[in-house]
Amino acid sequence: MREPIRDKGRLQHILESINNIFEFSEGKTFEQIQNDKMCYYAIVYQLVIIGEAANLLTKEFLANHPETPWREIISMRNFIVHGYNVVDKQEVWSVIENDLKPLKAQIEKYIEE
């Protein structure tokens, strides 16, 4: 159920998953991650959690924070879950390298609000 009181908890889930991804990928190259099935799928699962938690945020919260690409985050979750057999490992790596640091900063700011 989408209740404003639960938004902070969902943001904390997103932050925890981002931190997990950074821990799992720390010091690793793309090649190391793609060749380590356990690490790769642990990261993918964390991306699913991020997307699911974002999807459960209230519409009011999402509307009040349009600077975060919520639709893309949720769409990636849906693609991973429903298109699991065609997920591009390079795209997963790109998310780690380019998208998670700015997202983490935004989520930390929202939790402080």
Q: Per-residue pLDDT averaged across 56-63, rounded?
A: 95
| Domain ranges within the chain, ordered by starting residue | 4-112
Question: Which pLDDT score, from 0 to 100, does residue 85 have?
Answer: 79
For residues 61 and 7, the answer to whether their CB atoms sit within 8 Å is yes
Confidence of residue 65 (pLDDT cuts 50, 70, 90): very high
pLDDT for position 87 = 87
CB contact burial 68-77 (16+ within 10 A = b; e otherwise): bebeebbebb
Predicted confidence (pLDDT) per residue in 79-107, tens digit? 999 987 788 999 999 999 999 999 999 99
77 an active-site residue? yes
Tens digit of pLDDT for each residue in 1-56? Answer: 566 578 999 999 999 999 999 999 999 999 999 999 999 999 999 999 999 999 99
pLDDT recorded at residue 2: 60
- Please identify which of the residues 2, 6, 71, 77 carries the catalytic annotation: 77
> What integer best gives the mean pLDDT of the chain?
93
The two three-digit tokens of residue 46, written as one number: 């964390």
